[in-house]
Amino acid sequence: MKIVMLGAPGAGKGTQAIKIADKYGIPHISTGDIFRANIKNGTELGKKAKEYMDQGLLVPDELTTNLVVDRIQQEDCKKGYILDGFPRTIPQATCLTEALASLNDALDYAINVDVQDEKIVTRMGGRRACPNCGATYHVKYMAPKIEGICDTCGAELILRADDEPATVQKRLDVYHAQTQPLIDYYNEKGILKTVDGDKDLNEVFSDILAILEA
């Protein structure tokens, strides 16, 4: 079961990816984790990636794909894996398709967690974080016992800059320009499945399981 998760920032695809990974005992793979592991272990690919990152540059698509392909050939990926946050663009997706084809392999599913922009802005704008202990809340879905105060340590909660409505909208604009075309790409490949991400977390998960177990 080889899956790529798609969806806008704040759509909940990362949460669903973790739940799928736990359910099926397959690794949840993000490019950030791969970069950190390779840099920490001093691999050749990690050294190359670090050169770009140290200059504040994006790691080239081919190198990123090589890192991902190296990761998915490891022993724990024999039963499958979930890619979260990669590919982000059509060139990355093309690179990945070609690299997998060279291994006589291919993805099974591209699962798109679909949520309307305005709902994402509202959802993320309701997040609150504790600057002291790092606990997170939501004014509507997971409110603290005392408004604006962390349950764990009593510090005053903040709205992070990343969650400001204007910032969220900018991230969504980038997503639609760069990543949205992947939905068309995987639809043409015949592996795209879309779920309504505006439902309850567990309902979304049930909808995904229905797809995977059909």
Would you say residue 42 lies in a domain?
Answer: yes
Would you say residue 108 lies in a domain?
Answer: yes
CA distance 116 to 149: 30
Catalytic entry in 19, 71, 123, 127: 127
CA distance 14 to 30: 9
Q: In the annotation, is 160 catalytic?
A: yes
Quick count: other Cβ atoms within 10 Å of Cβ 151?
14
Would you say residue 89 lies in a domain?
Answer: yes
Q: In the annotation, is 36 catalytic?
A: no
Catalytic entry in 48, 50, 171, 199: 171
What mean pLDDT, rounded, does the chain reach? 92
Catalytic entry in 2, 13, 128, 193: 13
Q: Do β-strands 2-6 and 81-84 pair in parallel, antiparallel, or remain unpaired?
A: parallel
For residues 83 and 68, the answer to whether their CB atoms sit within 8 Å is yes
Over residues 57-86, the pLDDT tens digits come to 878 888 999 999 999 999 999 999 999 989
Would you say residue 154 lies in a domain?
Answer: no
* pLDDT band at 162; cut points 50, 70, 90: confident
CATH code: domain of residue 70: 3.40.50.300
Would you say residue 95 lies in a domain?
Answer: yes
Q: In the annotation, is 71 catalytic?
A: no
**Domain tally for the chain?**
1
pLDDT confidence of residue 16: 94
Range of the domain at 79: 2-116+166-212
Task: State the pTM of this model.
Answer: 0.82
Would you say residue 159 lies in a domain?
Answer: no
Would you say residue 156 lies in a domain?
Answer: no
Would you say residue 126 lies in a domain?
Answer: no
Q: In the annotation, is 171 catalytic?
A: yes
